């Protein structure tokens, strides 16, 4: 395929790069990557070794000593050039993301655009790494705080966003003066290799040293564990399941490292009697079936007031019946495949369990067969009438299952249902009632890191800090002041007088 050639993807690829130089390790196993869209073989990747990681860390240590001395706006200029390279390769990279991961071509292109957007944001941020000045209680003293580069930052990304999550971390960290190690999901390593190939020209053109943007593809049991335990990596951003994040947090905390955790979501949309149903329906459907339900912000629960419940259910079934399921590279299709057959099994098992608990499938839930679905990863998105307390409803199933839940009485009852899960990522309410909307956004309202009014749960913009509460991990990435996580904070006090007064009025004369 021509787009693979343009992105520098070979039939066989190496799994570690220090910036522009690739390793030659071939004895750690070979990942063979197949497209969930068609089932066809794309390419393979030789996994990296622990020696490769040790070498990478030596290189990043040296690179950090250099990179932290470069003025932040100059670092921003490098990120600006990376954004331009991404614009140049947007179509090819978006196509690869779609083909390797299975999300629709529009979503693949959108993911690359998100990378471009965060680069642009980071360029501006490079001139706004602000500290604050405080008033000292001591005469002729000045106090302020400032932020310094932290060191080597590692991004461990998940399969559902093969490239965007890396860019959220890497580009902000880069303007902060940090250097980057990227460990992508072993399910979608080719997209990461393509990104490394895209940015290498910027590194060469600016005569930058190896180690500023690096990549390692390897086993979680060896490479992943070594990264978690590595004291030379002060900050690790982990995107994945709650179980993965819990283990990572424990290991990193033992060595007093920092962790940004972006974990599971069990996101709900509340629809009150004052909702604009015409506007709400597209948000619900995209939120539930976009990326085949494989977003951490996917809409998994729809909590509807009993007075409009039947109307909403009928509208949903009608909308779902119009969905086109098929090859994600065909822009006429709305829904592509799940990532693999394990995900399909999780989908069918969840539907079995919810029925055993008393749930009722009102639409979809089947696995598609036939020549055009030969990869075995295509399913019909399901709508299930359920109750919030069901065990399976309390869990996150990474698949297109929408639980339809009825609420009675005031909106506070719906908010209580929404909050009654262990996850706390994204949430939404559809209402034209100002009091309902403001209650939802108040301290008595949604307990999620993201709370929206009259828009869905997915599709967050990069300008806001992204992340959630409770078992979602508490991490924040991307916009707002998330940049502070990638730096070490320092409080400074300067005495420009001739005396040494002590704070709190303490006297110590000698």
Alpha carbon 82 to chain centroid, angstroms: 20
Determine whether 262 is an active site residue: yes
Whole-angstrom CA distances from 330 to 102, 116, 164, 335, 355 are 11, 24, 22, 10, 34
Nearest-angstrom CA–CA distance, 447 and 470: 9
Three-state secondary-structure class, residue 423: strand
Q: Six-digit token pair at 277?
A: 């149903």
- Among 111, 262, 471, 477, the one annotated catalytic: 262
Contacts of 60 (CB under 8 A, 6+ apart): 152, 179, 180, 181, 211, 214, 232
The secondary structure of the chain in percent helix, strand, coil, rounded to multiples of 5, reads 40, 20, 40
Q: How far apart are CA 162 and CA 52, in angstroms?
A: 22
Three-state secondary-structure class, residue 208: coil
What b-and-e string marks burial along 119-130, b requiring 16 or more CB atoms within 10 Å of the CB? bebbbebbeebe
Cβ contact 406:304 at 8 Å: yes
One of 296, 436, 448, 477 is an active-site residue; which one? 296
Helices (H) and strands (E) in the chain, counts: 15, 23
Does the annotation count 176 as an active-site position? no
Q: How far apart are CA 452 and CA 430, in angstroms?
A: 9
Q: Using an 8 Å Cβ cutoff, are 35 and 99 in contact?
A: yes
Measured CA to CA, the distance from residue 211 to residue 196 in angstroms comes to 12
Q: Residue holding tokens 């292109």?
A: 109
User: Distance between CA atoms of 173 and 485, rounded to whole angstroms?
Assistant: 9
Return left, alpha or beta for 124; rule: phi > 0 is left, psi -120 to 50 is alpha, else beta: alpha
Half-sphere exposure of 335 (CA within 13 A, CB side): 28
The terminus-to-terminus CA distance of the chain in angstroms comes to 80
Which residues pair with residue 402 across a beta bridge?
A: 383
Region for 474 from its dihedrals, namely left if φ exceeds 0, alpha if ψ lies in -120 to 50, beta otherwise: left
The kind and range of the H/E element at 111 are helix 105-125
Catalytic residue annotation = 262, 296
């Amino acid at each position: 395929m021509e787009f693979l050639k343009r992105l520098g993807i070979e039939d066989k690829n190496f799994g570690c790069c220090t910036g522009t130089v690739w390793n030659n390790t071939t004895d750690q196993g070979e990942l063979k990557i197949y497209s969930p869209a068609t089932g066809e073989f794309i390419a393979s990747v030789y996994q990296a070794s622990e020696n490769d990681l040790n070498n990478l860390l030596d290189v990043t240590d040296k690179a950090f000593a250099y990179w932290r001395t470069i003025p932040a706006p100059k670092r921003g200029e490098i990120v600006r050039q990376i954004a331009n390279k991404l614009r140049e390769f947007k179509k090819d990279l978006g196509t690869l993301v779609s083909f390797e991961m299975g999300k629709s071509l529009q979503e693949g292109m959108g993911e690359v655009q998100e990378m471009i957007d965060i680069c642009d944001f980071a360029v501006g941020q490079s001139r706004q790494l602000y500290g604050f000045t405080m008033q000292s209680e001591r005469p002729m003293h000045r106090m302020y705080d400032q932020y310094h580069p932290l060191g080597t930052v590692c991004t461990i990304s998940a399969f559902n966003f093969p490239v965007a999550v890396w860019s959220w971390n890497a580009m902000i960290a880069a303007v902060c003066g940090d250097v980057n190690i990227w460990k992508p999901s072993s399910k979608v390593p080719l997209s990461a290799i393509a990104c490394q190939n895209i940015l290498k020209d910027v590194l060469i053109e600016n005569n930058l040293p190896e180690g500023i943007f690096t990549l390692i593809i390897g086993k979680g049991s060896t490479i992943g564990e070594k990264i978690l335990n590595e004291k030379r990596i002060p900050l690790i951003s982990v995107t994945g399941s709650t179980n993965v994040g819990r283990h990572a947090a424990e290991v990193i905390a033992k060595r007093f490292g920092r962790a940004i955790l972006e974990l599971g979501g069990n996101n709900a949309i509340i629809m009150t009697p004052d909702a604009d149903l015409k506007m709400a329906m597209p948000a619900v459907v995209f939120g539930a079936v976009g990326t085949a339900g494989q977003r951490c912000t996917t809409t998994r629960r729809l909590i509807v007031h009993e007075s409009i419940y039947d109307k909403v259910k009928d509208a949903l079934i009608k909308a779902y019946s119009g969905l086109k399921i098929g090859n994600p590279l065909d822009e006429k299709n709305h829904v592509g495949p799940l990532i693999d057959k394990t995900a399909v099994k999780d989908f069918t098992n969840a539907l079995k369990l919810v029925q055993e608990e008393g749930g009722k499938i009102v639409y979809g839930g089947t696995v598609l067969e036939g020549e055009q679905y030969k990869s075995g990863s295509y399913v019909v998105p399901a709508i299930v009438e359920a109750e919030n307390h069901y065990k399976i409803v309390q869990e996150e199933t990474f698949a297109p299952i929408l639980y339809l839940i009825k609420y009675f009485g005031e909106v506070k009852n719906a908010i209580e249902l929404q909050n009654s899960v262990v996850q706390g990522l994204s949430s939404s309410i559809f209402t034209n009632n100002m009091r309902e909307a403001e209650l939802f956004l108040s301290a008595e309202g949604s307990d999620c890191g993201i709370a929206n009014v009259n828009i869905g749960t997915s599709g967050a913009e990069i300008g806001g800090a992204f992340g959630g509460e409770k078992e979602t991990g508490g991490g924040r990435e991307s916009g707002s002041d998330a940049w502070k996580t990638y730096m070490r904070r320092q409080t400074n006090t300067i005495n420009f007088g001739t005396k040494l007064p002590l704070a709190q009025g303490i006297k110590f004369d000698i």
